[in-house]
């Protein structure tokens, strides 16, 4: 039977301390439920004495039956020269009513003397007194030894005394914290091994990523015998972040053969990572190992061809093991293999050796010289293939559009109005739309024109819009690349437009986005008819 590693998630507390990261109260509850379903053992809900939002979470979470995880409230040892009964932080920990209380205390003499400005013995009493009172009130206590590795390098004897004070007072788990994030993996391994010799109980690791070694340090601590790992989803956290559970968990499970989640849940890892980003209102990190959209993306033609023959050639794990997917990228650097595999991936029937594959590749090279980039615009690439293969059916033809932006007086917002003239079949359509800006106005006018003929465009939402100037040296005459992300239900797709005029580039991307929706809808209809 493999050794089980306890996973302690601190996304909602330590992760929320990262710059640009913020969770709403309801968002925290939803994240806690997803983490519970994933199978983490402990969820740190927040700092009990920090803010009312965290205390509200502790109250609300009691009404939600968690299937696996236990909730921990975070706090500190009592203050120097203040009894435990008088300490507001300890009172808040008890008020939180969680089954687990996690407290941090000082292990480094530098902090004892210069930050707390107290004596070495008083610091030991602060640790022991706080753990003892929490235990007497029925709490399981996890003791986070803050700055432990720096403290151990400074004075091993005193650092171990702080652990002993917590253990003898009743702490169930002693967590060695690399709070400054500057320790190296071999140091973490050696010091963790020494602590286990001296203590013999359950030891944990809490690493920060200032040296970009938080994951490596966490794994080395486990190799040395640690049984408890703390971290955050996506590595969120203060400064450069905390140890990333999205990398630690699959390494433990798939590379080290250790049990750390409920059976079968590892395949949910990417969806949890994306969900946490959504709740924190940040974009997922595409290049993140294991769960990023680029983690199994292949661009070089040699790589794509090799992966087609044997995925292990360029993939260290199967993407589906962590809920991810393989992606084939296409660009001017691609070979015919990429084009063929991308077409297969997108459900386009094509013979690998057909001359059309080369035609698509040549057109791709030509368009990329013009500034197009299809790596992040799969839908536009699919439409391009259809056009090269002469399978594209235009759902409408543009006769012209006009956009007016008017500012009537100072202090008032601009008014944007777009007029669109197009033909759907043999019918001429002329519509006007207003929006928050010229692109939004064009979007409204185009939808208004198409909805009577294709009602499903009503369901398409424009979810992201980004602009890049391709050659800044050309100033206002530079070409502009526009990327638009559209969504309908749970399905999202990306389209691209390039022009010296930002409105024309936007129009191109908008048209591709709506035509793609109609195209896949038509394909689905053909499939249903063929199967009937």
Rounded to whole angstroms, the Cα distance separating 187 from 48 reads 32
Name the β-bridge partners of 421: 400, 430
Tell me what pLDDT residue 333 has.
Answer: 53
Rounded to whole angstroms, the Cα distance separating 446 from 431 reads 8
Rounded to whole angstroms, the Cα distance separating 187 from 339 reads 47
With tokens 């260290």, the residue in question is 316
> Hey, is 285 helix, strand or coil?
coil
Tell me what pLDDT residue 144 has.
Answer: 97
Same fold flag, 6-280 and 397-531: no
> pLDDT confidence of 139, banded at 50, 70, 90?
very high
- Mark out the alpha helices in 200-244 (DSSP H runs): 214-224
> pLDDT confidence of 1, banded at 50, 70, 90?
very low
With tokens 């091993």, the residue in question is 156
Angle at 354 between CA 351 and CA 359, to 5 degrees: 120
> Is the pLDDT higher at 355 or at 290?
290
Rounded to whole angstroms, the Cα distance separating 120 from 125 reads 9
Whether 527 shows a pLDDT value over 60: the answer reads no
Average model confidence (pLDDT) across the chain: 87
Q: Where are the domains of the chain?
A: 6-280, 297-369, 397-531
Percent of the chain with pLDDT over 70: 88
Give me the sign of the Cα torsion angle 217, 223, 224, 227: positive
Whether 246 shows a pLDDT value over 60: the answer reads yes
> Hey, is 346 helix, strand or coil?
coil
Helix, strand, coil percentages for the chain (3-state, nearest 5)? 45, 20, 35
The domain covering 397-531 belongs, at the CATH homologous superfamily level, to Alpha-isopropylmalate synthase LeuA, regulatory domain (3.30.160.270)
All residues at 6 or more sequence positions from 16 whose CB lies less than 8 Å from its CB, including other chains: 22, 23, 46, 236, 280
Predicted TM-score (pTM) of the model is 0.73
> Hey, is 183 helix, strand or coil?
coil
> Hey, is 230 helix, strand or coil?
strand
Token pair recorded at residue 39: 């199978």
- Read off the pLDDT of residues 47-96 as tens digits, 9 standing for 90 and up: 887 777 788 888 888 888 889 999 999 999 999 988 888 899 999 999 99
Identify the CATH assignment for 6-280 out of 3.90.1150.10, 3.40.50.1000, 3.20.20.70, 2.60.40.1180: 3.20.20.70
């Amino acid at each position: 039977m493999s050794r089980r590693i306890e996973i302690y998630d601190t996304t909602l507390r330590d992760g929320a301390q990262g710059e640009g990261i913020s969770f709403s109260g309801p968002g925290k509850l939803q994240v806690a439920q997803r983490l519970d379903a994933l199978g983490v053992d402990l969820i740190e809900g927040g700092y009990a004495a920090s803010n009312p939002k965290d205390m509200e979470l502790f109250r609300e979470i009691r009404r939600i039956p968690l299937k696996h995880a236990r909730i921990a409230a975070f706090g500190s040892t009592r203050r120097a020269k203040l009894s435990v009964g008088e300490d507001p932080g300890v009172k808040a920990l008890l008020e939180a009513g969680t089954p687990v209380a996690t407290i941090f205390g000082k292990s480094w003499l530098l902090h004892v003397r210069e930050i707390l400005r107290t004596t070495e013995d008083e610091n030991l009493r602060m640790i022991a007194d706080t753990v003892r009172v929490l235990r007497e009130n029925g709490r399981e206590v996890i003791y986070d030894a803050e700055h432990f590795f720096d403290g151990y390098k400074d004075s091993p004897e005193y650092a171990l005394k702080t652990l002993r004070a917590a253990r003898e007072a009743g702490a169930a788990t002693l967590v060695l914290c690399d709070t400054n994030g500057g320790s190296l993996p071999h140091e973490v391994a050696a010091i963790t091994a020494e602590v286990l010799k001296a203590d013999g109980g359950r030891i944990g690791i809490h690493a920060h990523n200032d040296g970009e070694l938080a994951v490596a340090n966490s794994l080395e601590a486990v190799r040395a015998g640690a049984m408890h790992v703390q971290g955050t989803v996506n590595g969120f956290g203060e400064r450069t972040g905390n140890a990333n559970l999205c990398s630690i968990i699959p390494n433990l499970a798939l590379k080290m053969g250790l049990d750390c989640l409920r059976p079968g849940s590892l395949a949910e890892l990417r969806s949890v990572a994306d969900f946490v980003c959504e709740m924190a209102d940040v974009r997922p990190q595409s290049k993140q190992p294991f769960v990023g959209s680029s983690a199994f993306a292949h661009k070089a033609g040699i790589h794509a061809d090799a992966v087609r023959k044997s995925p292990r050639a360029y993939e260290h794990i199967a993407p589906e093991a962590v809920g991810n997917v393989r992606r084939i990228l296409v660009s001017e650097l691609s070979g015919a293999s990429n084009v063929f595999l991308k077409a297969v991936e997108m459900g386009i029937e094509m013979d690998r050796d057909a001359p059309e594959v080369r035609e698509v590749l040549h057109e791709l090279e030509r368009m990329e010289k013009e500034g197009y980039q299809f790596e992040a615009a799969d839908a536009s690439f699919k439409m391009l293939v259809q056009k090269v293969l002469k399978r594209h059916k235009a759902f409408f033809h543009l006769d012209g559009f006009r956009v007016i932006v008017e500012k009537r007086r100072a202090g008032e917002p601009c008014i944007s109005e777009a007029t669109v003239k197009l033909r759907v079949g043999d019918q001429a359509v002329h519509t006007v739309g207003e929006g928050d800006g010229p692109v939004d106005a064009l979007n409204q006018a185009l939808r208004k024109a198409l909805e009577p003929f294709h009602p499903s465009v009503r369901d398409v939402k424009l979810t992201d819009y980004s602009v890049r100037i391709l050659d800044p040296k050309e100033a206002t005459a530079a070409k502009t690349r526009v990327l638009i992300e559209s969504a309908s239900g749970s399905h999202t797709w990306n389209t691209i437009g390039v022009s010296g005029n930002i409105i024309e580039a936007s129009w191109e991307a908008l048209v591709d986005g709506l035509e793609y929706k109609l195209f896949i809808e038509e394909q689905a209809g053909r499939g249903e008819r063929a199967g009937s």
